[in-house]
A and B are shown apart, each in its own frame.
Chain A
Amino acid sequence: MTDNSSTNGASNGAANGSDVLIDVRDVVKHFGSVIALNGVSMAVNRGQVLCLLGDNGAGKSTLIKTLAGVHKPTAGEFRVEGRAVDFNSPRDALDAGIATVYQDLAMIPLMSVTRNFFMGREPVKRLGPFRFINFDEADKTTREEMQKIGIDVRDPQQAVGTLSGGERQCVAIARAVYFGAKVLILDEPTSALGVAQTSMVLKYVDQVRNKGLGVIFITHNVRHAMAVGDRFTVLNRGKTLGNFARDEINMDELQNLMAGGKELQQLSASLGGTV
Chain B
Amino acid sequence: MVDKTAQSGGEAAAEPPDTTPAQADERIREVSAMTKILRRPELGAIAGLILVTVFFLITANANMFTLAGIMNFMAPAAQLGILAIGAALLMVGGEFDLSVGSMVAFAGLVFGTCLVVLGIPLPGAIVITFIVAGAMGALNGQIVLRTGLPSFIVTLAFLFILRGMTLVGLKWATGGSTQLRGVKEAVEGSWLAGFFSGDALEGLFAWFASMGWVDTFKNGLPKVQGVPVEVIWFVIFAAVATWVLVRTRFGNWIFAAGGDANAARNSGVAVNRVKTILFILTACCAALVAILTVLDAGSTDARRGFQKEFEAIIAAVIGGCLLTGGYGSAIGAAIGAVIFGMVLIGLTYTTIDQDWYLVFLGGMLLTAVLFNNFIRKRATGER
Contact = CB atoms under 8 A, between A and B. Distances in A.
B31 A119 contact: no
Nearest to A92: B268
Question: Chain A contact residues: over half helix, strand or loop, or mixed?
Answer: loop
Contacts, number: 104
Interface string B264-289: 11111110000000000000000000
A68 B268 CA distance: 11
Contacts of A133: 247-249, 251-252
Contacts of B268: 89-91, 94, 119-121
Residue picked from B252, B262, B269, most chain A C-beta under 10 Å: B252
A157 B380 contact: no
A131 B248 contact: yes
B28 A143 contact: yes
Interface stretch (A3-11, A20-28, A108-116): A108-116
B277 to A, nearest CB: 16
Given A105-B263, A124-B249, 14 more contacts: A89-B268, A94-B268, A109-B259, A110-B376, A110-B380, A111-B259, A115-B255, A119-B264, A132-B249, A133-B249, A152-B27, A155-B31, A158-B381, A162-B381
A106 B39 contact: no
A118 B381 CA distance: 21
Interface of A: 68, 70, 89-91, 94, 100, 102, 105-111, 115, 118-122, 124, 131-133, 135, 143, 147, 152, 154-155, 157-159, 161-162
Interface residues of B, number: 38
B256 A109 contact: no
A154 B7 CA distance: 13
Given A159-B380, A161-B380, A111 B256 contact: yes
A70 B270 CA distance: 13
A121 B253 CA distance: 10
A152 B7 CA distance: 14
B29 A108 contact: no
Given A90-B267, A94-B268, A100-B266, A119 B252 contact: yes
A161 B243 CA distance: 24
A115 B252 contact: yes
Given A120-B264, A120-B267, A155-B31, A108 B381 contact: no
The 3 closest A-B pairs by CB, nearest first: A162-B381, A120-B268, A108-B259
Nearest to B325: A110
11 contacts: A90-B267, A102-B263, A110-B382, A115-B255, A119-B269, A131-B248, A132-B248, A133-B252, A154-B3, A154-B27, A157-B31
A119 B270 CA distance: 11
Contacts of B296: none
B153 interface: no
A35 B14 CA distance: 65
B31 A122 contact: no
B260 interface: yes
B266 A106 contact: yes
B16 to A, nearest CB: 18
B318 to A, nearest CB: 19
Contacts of A110: 255, 259, 322, 326-327, 376, 380, 382
Residue picked from B31, B379, B380, most chain A C-beta under 10 Å: B380
B1 to A, nearest CB: 13
